[in-house]
């Protein structure tokens, strides 16, 4: 029978490459979830190392074992609650001195420890030279050199783990000495805590808790059983302050930094040929207080240019494929049998879901560009640059992180606000984050922008839309922080990792994670909603039309028009008949009811009815229009859904549709998360009201101003109408 699982906790600072090593060790054998009450991700995985089975726990990236952030709290809780056999402390070798502060605290846990000096290649490029033998003596832990991105050193790491596991008395880390008076206080408090035999001390030594009590750590002092020692520690703190002139927390931090400085001075040197850091050179410009924001905006414009330029060609092929698929199903379907089912498959499923999947290339290329920016380290700079800018609008620097996440999806963006400790900052961020244009809105832009704007303007229009979302979010934040959510902001501290060339593997993983969510949505929610939308677009069925379309079609076929013109005229008449049927349906009636309210912003009943489905998921706006304009052969002959839209609306209307979809109420899933995170129905409905009023007001101003100034108000009459009129049929009603 196999012995018990060997449990390894991966600990390290953010951006040290810890998760890369985790992925290398566990591969696909991972389980990902969230810790209760926070959005901090919990990753565990299993692997075989030598002849035993190991479970790897990827702790959140932390700088220390204090309780100043949700990540630090859950990391300690994981170490406290689980029976950890080994701590694998991953250190960014290029920033070893900063990373090892956590190491000095991990030594106090008295758990066998292995140090992985990761990204050793970057450190060597900086000219750093290590004496790992001395470092091992300083910390009482073996050291392995690794390059997580390429897997270098992974076998050596596994061998070191095996050696520790097979050793019946593995080496224990060396603990710092804090000075006579402080060590005396630690010994006294340790003896008292150990005597109580508290549940916490069964896994973590009493000395660790004595140090935390002496540091007046709120998370430890608030735990049951430690209150008496907090009072005793207060007296010790007074004595330490009197003896050393500084408080115990500062003193102990200074000692740790001193240990690290001494270790680095003895064991890490810089070669004489060290080159100036490329990161420093680049950061002179990209984090410049004047150039940083314009460079960020330029980078986002280039991302959208990249998305549209490369995405257009595969999108055209996908569109042709779904058109061919619909025609093929129609061609092989037995005439006169199961007509409703045929239409459901062709118009509802292929037209709805296919209409959303057509924009998959744009999604892929957008996330590819963002993955590259994240992998190089630029996105961390963007957050740093935007911090000062966002403080002008009353937002916390940490608010930019949820906004960055919001480019992918508003749901995790709202959840990511849990890292903001200040409640007024957090509520403000929750309220405005959905204004950031999420990935679900991208299919709407990808459909409408090429329909109304020339290729050379497409990236600019999309950039303007994203910019409008950001400006509206910041404007609302300023108003909310000045009224409903007043409060002082907090200091934002963020690490800037060195620039690196991202690996193809990391880029593909990020692309797949984002794209798979889009595909899952298309295969579940959008599929179901497309079927429902088809039903409400079909029933009740209209039997009494404004004209005898069958007779009109027969008249065209018997006319003297050329064959191509006959086909075009017949397609136009079929489109008119379908338009009447749709107007008579449930969706049409809803749209007609909303048209009175939506007409001042340029929306007809079709757009109004499509907005209803968009409340469930923004992509359904595209699916609904795909169903509404699924006019069969006319579109196959004359182009695509985009041509149908271009023949029905002006560029001004097209822009206003995108603007309204950007600013209006987010999807149901986002609203549900807002309700949960705010713990208030009032907050959620207030957000719905705010978004509705802002979307309608801004769109109204843009449409009426554009109409008054005659900007983008021209529309080309469909060629089909002219052909039908030339046949003397009067198809235009």
Domain spans of the chain? Answer: 6-166, 180-270, 295-424+433-471+483-726
Question: Rounded distance, CA 104 to CA 121, Å?
Answer: 24
Q: What is the pLDDT of residue 92?
A: 93
Q: Which CATH architecture has domain 180-270?
A: Orthogonal Bundle (1.10)
pLDDT, tens digit, 9 for 90 and up, residues 184-201: 899 999 999 888 888 888
Where does the pLDDT of residue 276 fall: very low under 50, low under 70, confident under 90, or very high at 90 and above? very low
Q: Are 501 and 555 contacting, i.e. CB atoms less than 8 angstroms apart? A: no
Say which DSSP state 347 is in.
I
The token duo for 198 is: 């508290």
Of 175, 203, 32, 8, the C-alpha closest to 90 is 8
Q: Is the pLDDT of residue 707 over 70?
A: yes
Mean pLDDT value across residues 286-295: 84
Q: Is the pLDDT of residue 698 over 80?
A: yes
CATH of span 6-166: 3.40.50.300
Q: Are 90 and 14 contacting, i.e. CB atoms less than 8 angstroms apart? A: no
Question: Rounded distance, CA 325 to CA 241, Å?
Answer: 79
Q: What is the pLDDT of residue 627?
A: 67
Question: Rounded distance, CA 11 to CA 153, Å?
Answer: 18
Q: Which is more confidently placed, 248 or 131?
A: 131
pTM of the model: 0.58
Q: Is the pLDDT of residue 405 over 80?
A: no
Q: Is the pLDDT of residue 618 over 80?
A: yes
Question: Rounded distance, CA 500 to CA 498, Å?
Answer: 6
Mean pLDDT value across residues 136-155: 92
Question: Rounded distance, CA 371 to CA 705, Å?
Answer: 39
Number of alpha carbons in the 13 Å side-chain half-sphere of residue 551: 6
CATH topology match: 6-166 vs 180-270: no
Least confident of 107-121, 153-167, 319-333: 319-333
pLDDT, tens digit, 9 for 90 and up, residues 631-658: 433 333 334 678 888 888 999 999 999 9
- Report the share of the chain in percent with pLDDT over 70: 88
Q: What is the pLDDT of residue 41?
A: 66
Least confident of 87-91, 248-252, 319-323, 607-611: 248-252
Mean pLDDT value across residues 272-280: 52
Q: What is the pLDDT of residue 667?
A: 82
The number of beta carbons lying within 10 Å of the beta carbon of residue 58 is: 27
Q: What is the pLDDT of residue 74?
A: 82
Q: Is the pLDDT of residue 112 over 70?
A: yes
Q: What is the pLDDT of residue 289?
A: 77
Across all residues in the chain, what is the average pLDDT?
82
Mean pLDDT value across residues 205-210: 90
Mean pLDDT value across residues 466-485: 90
Q: Is the pLDDT of residue 2 over 80?
A: no
Mean pLDDT value across residues 536-549: 86
Q: Is the pLDDT of residue 150 over 60?
A: yes
């Amino acid at each position: 029978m196999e012995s018990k699982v060997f449990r390894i906790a991966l600990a390290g600072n953010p951006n040290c490459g810890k998760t890369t090593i985790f992925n290398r060790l566990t591969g696909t054998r991972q389980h990902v979830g969230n810790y209760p009450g926070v959005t901090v991700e919990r990753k565990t995985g299993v692997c075989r190392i030598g002849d035993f089975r190991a479970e790897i726990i990827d702790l959140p990236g932390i700088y220390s074992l204090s309780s100043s952030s949700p990540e630090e709290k859950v990391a300690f809780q994981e170490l406290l609650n689980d029976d950890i056999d080994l701590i694998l402390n991953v250190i960014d070798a290029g920033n070893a001195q900063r990373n090892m502060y956590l190491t000095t605290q991990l030594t106090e846990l008295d758990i066998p420890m292995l140090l992985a000096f990761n990204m050793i290649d970057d450190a060597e490029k900086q000219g750093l030279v290590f004496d790992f033998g001395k470092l091992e003596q300083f910390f009482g832990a073996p050291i392995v050199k690794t390059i997580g991105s390429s897997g270098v050193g992974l076998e050596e790491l596994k061998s070191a783990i095996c050696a520790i596991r097979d050793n019946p008395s593995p080496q224990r880390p060396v603990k710092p000495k804090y000075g006579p008076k402080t060590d005396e206080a630690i010994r006294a408090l340790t003896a008292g805590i150990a005597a109580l035999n508290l549940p916490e001390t069964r896994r973590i030594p009493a000395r660790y808790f004595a140090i935390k009590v002496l540091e007046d750590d709120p998370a430890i002092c608030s735990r049951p059983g430690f209150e008496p020692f907090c009072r005793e520690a207060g007296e010790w703190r007074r004595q330490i302050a009197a003896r050393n002139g500084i408080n115990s927390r500062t003193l102990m931090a200074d000692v740790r930094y001193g240990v690290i400085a001494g270790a680095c001075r003895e064991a890490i040197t810089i070669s004489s040929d060290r080159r100036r850091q490329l990161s420093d050179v680049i950061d002179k410009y990209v984090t410049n207080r004047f150039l940083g924001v314009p460079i960020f905006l330029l980078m986002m414009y280039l991302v959208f240019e990249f998305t549209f330029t490369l995405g257009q060609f595969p999108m055209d092929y996908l569109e042709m494929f779904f058109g061919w698929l619909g025609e093929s199903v129609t061609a092989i379907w037995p005439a006169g049998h199961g007509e409703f089912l045929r239409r459901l498959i062709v118009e509802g499923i292929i037209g709805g879901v296919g209409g959303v999947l057509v924009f998959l290339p744009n999604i892929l290329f957008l996330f590819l560009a963002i993955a590259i920016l994240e992998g190089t380290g630029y996105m961390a700079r963007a957050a740093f640059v935007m911090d000062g800018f966002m403080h002008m609008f009353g937002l916390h620097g940490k608010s930019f992180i949820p906004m960055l996440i919001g480019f992918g999806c508003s749901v995790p963006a709202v959840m990511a606000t849990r890292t903001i400790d200040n409640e007024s900052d957090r509520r403000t961020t929750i309220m405005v984050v959905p204004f950031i244009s999420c990935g679900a809105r991208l299919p709407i832009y990808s459909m409408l922008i090429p329909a109304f704007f020339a290729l050379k303007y497409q990236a600019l229009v999309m950039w303007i839309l994203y910019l409008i979302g950001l400006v509206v979010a910041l404007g609302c934040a300023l108003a909310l922080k000045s009224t409903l959510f007043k409060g002082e902001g907090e200091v934002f501290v963020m690490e800037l990792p060195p620039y690196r060339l991202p690996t193809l593997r990391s880029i593909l993983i990020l692309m797949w994670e984002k794209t798979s969510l889009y595909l899952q949505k298309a295969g579940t929610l959008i599929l179901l909603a497309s079927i429902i939308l088809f039903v409400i677009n079909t029933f009740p069925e209209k039997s009494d039309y404004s004209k005898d379309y069958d007779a009109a079609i027969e008249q065209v076929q018997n006319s003297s028009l050329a064959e191509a013109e006959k086909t075009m005229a017949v397609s136009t008449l079929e489109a008119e008949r379908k338009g009447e049927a749709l107007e008579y349906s449930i969706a049409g009636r809803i749209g007609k009811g909303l048209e009175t309210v939506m007409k001042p912003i340029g929306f007809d009943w079709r757009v109004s009815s499509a907005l209803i489905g968009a409340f469930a998921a923004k992509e359904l706006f595209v699916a609904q229009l795909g169903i509404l304009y699924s006019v069969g052969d006319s579109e196959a002959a004359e182009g695509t859904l985009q041509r149908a839209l271009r023949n029905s609306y002006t560029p001004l209307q097209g822009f206003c549709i995108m603007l309204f979809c950007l600013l209006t109420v987010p999807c149901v899933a986002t609203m549900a998360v807002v309700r949960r995170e705010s713990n208030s129905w009032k907050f959620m409905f207030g957000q719905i009201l705010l978004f509705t009023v802002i979307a309608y007001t801004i769109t109204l101003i843009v449409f009426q101003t554009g109409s008054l100034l005659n900007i983008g108000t021209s529309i080309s009459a469909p060629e089909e109408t002219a052909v039908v009129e030339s046949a003397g049929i009067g198809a235009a009603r």
